[in-house]
Structures are given as structure tokens and as C-alpha cells.
Amino acid sequence: GDYYLVDEKMAAEMLPERLPTSHKGDFGHVAVIGGTRGYTGAVVLASNAALRGGAGLVTAIIPEVCYPIAAVKLTEAMTFPAKGTENGGFSSSALESIKGVLQRATVAAVGPGLGQEEETADFLEDLLKNLNIPIVLDADALNIIAKRRHLLSDQALAKQRRNWVFTPHPGEMARLCDTTIAAVQEDRVGVAAEASRKWGVVLVLKGAHTVIAGPEGPLFINSTGNPGLASGGTGDVLAGLIASFLAQGLDPLQAAVCGPFIHGLAADLIAEKSGEAGMIAGDLLAEISQVIESLTALKRGRS
């Protein structure tokens, strides 16, 4: 089918406006929901990426066992402990413990470092059935959905799925589609387009030349990024970045197009300076601000 190659001009046009009279409430409030023992870094990276992408407020919601670690590591983001299991995951009754803080969120990013405990899976299902805001679903949230496929077809969730952005890597995509990684990689554009239509979600299929698909078409292929992104944590940064664009008022498809372009361009600029091999996810954070600034200048030059 037809697709667009995402370039600087396209991304710049989509970027959110920031007026001189703006205050933090104008730029949304992202709830980042994830973390389990050994994986708190994922939530920290996603939260910081949401801030670097321009979100006004970020609250990281973490199981109580892991909460002190995240609270120490996050400065600008708020943090909130959810009812947890002894293993450090979310308890199946965690939703009740975070309802108050969730009411303030305008967008959620769910899945970084989440783990796949049965109780956590119950919590995720409960959350998805009760959360009526745009949601970026990444990592273990997608692995859980792959095991609880009814979440993709449940008619009661059809309207809400329109506000979901899935960000699978080829392995997660293969699990979601119940196929092999090879089958996904052979026809990345076709597989992404079909899944997006079938489930009614915006889909970001990561990898070399990330594919972005919306249920109504058109398709986009990202032109930025390099193998330096193939290290732990870069996907968490992308999830937070996409969530920040949703929080600033972009629609799910626009946010899903802007996120990978800016994420990849940040990686390309870092690679030019210090190479690909040693690039780590945290390096992207400061670079993202600079990429957004240069795209904003490009947009101003046009207006």
C-alpha cells in the first residue's frame, strides 16, 4: 500500500504549539505505570523522556516494593506507590490504590519494566477497562495483552482502543499476532497495517525503518535511527516521548509519527558525536530537547 516517509518537515508541522502565556497545565499530565524488582530503570527513563518531550507534569506509578528506588532517581517527576505483590509487581487490586492519582492524568504510558506476573496481568486488564484517556502500551503490557487476546476484540473496549498506541518490537509483535519474528520482519508494512486495522489501535512497529500504522491508513515509515538504539531502555524512552506528545494534544497517529522520528534523530546526532556502540538510553534524554528545539525553529521559519 501507499506510505509516507517521515521527514523533518512532516515532524515539524505536527509538533505541538507552545504559546508565551502557557502554563504547565496546558501541556498535559502523563502517568507512567510500570516497574517491578530489577526493572525500575525503565519507568525512570520513560518518565524523564515524557518530561523532555515537553509534558507539563509526569507521575510515575510504581509497585510499593520498588517505589523508594524510583522516588530517589526521579527529581522532576512526581512518584506514587501502588499496592504491590511480594515479588515487587502490581497487586491484582492495585487499581483501587491509584484511582485518585489517575484522575489527574490526561495520558498514560503503561508497560515499562512491568513484568508479567499473574497479579500484574489482572491489574493491567482492570486498568484498561477503567481508563478513558489515551494510552501508550509498551513492553510487558503488550506481552500480557498477547496472552489475554480478548482485550483486542472486546466490543466494550472498541471506542477506547482508538486511543491506544502499541509500540512493539518484532518479538512482541510476533507474540501479539501469534506468528514468528521472521514472518513479521518479512512484511513489516503489511503486518503492521493489518494488525492496526483489525484491533483498531495505532501501531508503531519498531526496528530498522519503524513502521507507523493507524486503523484508517495512511502508513508512515520512519527515516531516522541507527543500531546504537539496540540497547536496553531505548524503547522506554520512546514510549515516554510518544506519551508526552499525546499529553500536548497530538492525536494518536501524529504522536506515533513524531515520537520515533525525534527519538531516531536524537540517536543519529549522538552517533555522530560519540559513535553507536556505547550509546545508552539515557543519552537520548538531553538530545531530545535539542531536536525538538531545532524542529520548532524549522516550523517557525515556515510560518
Using alpha carbons, select from 148, 186, 163 the residue that is nearest to residue 251: 163
- As a whole number of angstroms, the distance between CA 65 and CA 142 comes to 23
Domain boundaries, given as residue ranges, for the chain = 3-302
Q: Which three cell numbers stand for residue 1?
A: 500500500
In one letter, which amino acid is 154? D
Question: Any residues with CB less than 8 A from the CB of 96 and at least 6 apart, and which?
Answer: 83
Q: What is the pLDDT of residue 303?
A: 60
How many CB atoms are closer than 10 A to CB 103?
8
Burial of 74 (0-12, 13-18, 19+ CB in 10 A): buried
Q: What is the pLDDT of residue 1?
A: 64
- As a whole number of angstroms, the distance between CA 34 and CA 271 comes to 29
Residue 175: CA count within 13 A, CB half-sphere = 17
- As a whole number of angstroms, the distance between CA 53 and CA 237 comes to 10
Contact 33, 61 (CB under 8 A): yes
Q: What is the pLDDT of residue 267?
A: 99
Residue 89, CA distances (Å) to 44, 66, 68, 182, 197 in order: 16, 8, 14, 32, 32
Q: What is the pLDDT of residue 183?
A: 99
Q: What is the pLDDT of residue 170?
A: 99
Residue 249 C-alpha from the chain's centroid: 15
DSSP state of 275: -
The stretches in the chain having pLDDT less than 70 are 1, 303
Long-range contacts of range 60-63, CB-CB < 8 Å, 24 or more positions apart? 60/31, 60/32, 60/35, 61/31, 61/32, 61/33, 61/98, 61/101, 61/102, 62/34, 62/35, 63/35, 63/36, 63/88, 63/89, 63/90, 63/91, 63/94
Using alpha carbons, select from 209, 278, 291, 276 the residue that is nearest to residue 245: 291
Residue 201, CA distances (Å) to 7, 86, 156, 163 in order: 23, 34, 14, 7
Pick the CATH number of 3-302 from 3.40.50.10490, 3.40.1190.20, 3.30.1240.10, 3.10.580.10: 3.40.1190.20
Strand order in the sheet with 107-110: 3-6, 219-222, 211-213, 202-205, 164-166, 135-137, 107-110, 29-33, 57-63, 78-82
Q: Is 256 helix (H, G, I), strand (E, B) or coil?
A: helix
pLDDT in tens, 1-56: 689 999 999 999 999 989 999 999 999 999 999 999 999 999 999 999 999 999 99
- As a whole number of angstroms, the distance between CA 124 and CA 122 comes to 5
Q: What is the pLDDT of residue 268?
A: 99
Using alpha carbons, select from 98, 146, 103 the residue that is nearest to residue 123: 98
Q: Which three cell numbers stand for residue 196?
A: 492496526
